[in-house]
A and B are shown apart, each in its own frame.
Chain A
Amino acid sequence: AQSVAQPEDQVNVAEGNPLTVKCTYSVSGNPYLFWYVQYPNRGLQFLLKYITGDNLVKGSYGFEAEFNKSQTSFHLKKPSALVSDSALYFCAVRGLQGGKLIFGQGTELSVKP
């Protein structure tokens, strides 16, 4: 069965500093991997996805994520954090055979000025 782990409930970063939100996954075969973001009082939004190809995936709002097959990780990164990046971030995985999309527990990102 597929699963996702986000080991940090909360990440605190100063504005302008780089940020990393961690995600590891477990799935049979090669995965489809995703990041979604939930801003306060707003719905969940797609951020980026990895299907195949380059291990570094670029997405919305300057975010990127690095797929590492040997470590079964898909960490979300941004070179310079903004206060407006403060939100709840979810990692998700689906096996290549299709089917349900499984989300992690979420990580609360707080960026302070």
Chain B
Amino acid sequence: GAGVSQSPSNKVTEKGKDVELRCDPISGHTALYWYRQSLGQGLEFLIYFQGNSAPDKSGLPSDRFSAERTGGSVSTLTIQRTQQEDSAVYLCASSLGLSGDGEKLFFGSGTQLSVL
């Protein structure tokens, strides 16, 4: 596709339910990031995938959060047993890698998650 695609654009769920957020990166991009954007919290790093390397999961806030990237392309962020404090915009970004313009991240429009 032309850009990074995220789905759904909005998700409303009840506390305690599990949710899955999807990210389709730009074709050929080897790096993929998940961030969380909350009011007053800025852009919080969650997880980073680079090629076939083990992902950097150091930003995941708890073991309720997990992510996978299948075939080096599509990624799914899963939040189990959602809590109200999980409400935020979840942003996905991709890039070519770590050389030249590879450092430039392209962001999706995000998924607005609301936990009631």
Interface set of A (CB-CB < 8 Å, partner B): 6, 32, 34, 36, 43-46, 49, 51, 90, 94, 98-106
Contacts and interface: CB of A to CB of B under 8 A. Distances in A.
B: interface residue count bin: 20 to 34
Given A43-B108, A44-B91, A99-B48, A90 B42 contact: yes
A101 B59 contact: no
A100 B43 contact: no
Contact of A32 (B41, B59, B103, B108): B103
A11 to B, nearest CB: 15
The winner among A32, A34, A100 for most chain B CB atoms within 10 A is A100
Contacts of A104: 42-43
Given A43-B110, A44-B107, A51-B103, A103 B35 contact: yes
25 contacts: A6-B42, A36-B105, A43-B107, A43-B108, A43-B109, A43-B110, A44-B43, A44-B93, A44-B107, A45-B107, A46-B104, A46-B105, A90-B42, A99-B48, A99-B56, A100-B58, A100-B59, A101-B45, A101-B48, A101-B103, A101-B105, A103-B35, A105-B42, A106-B42, A106-B43
B65 interface: no
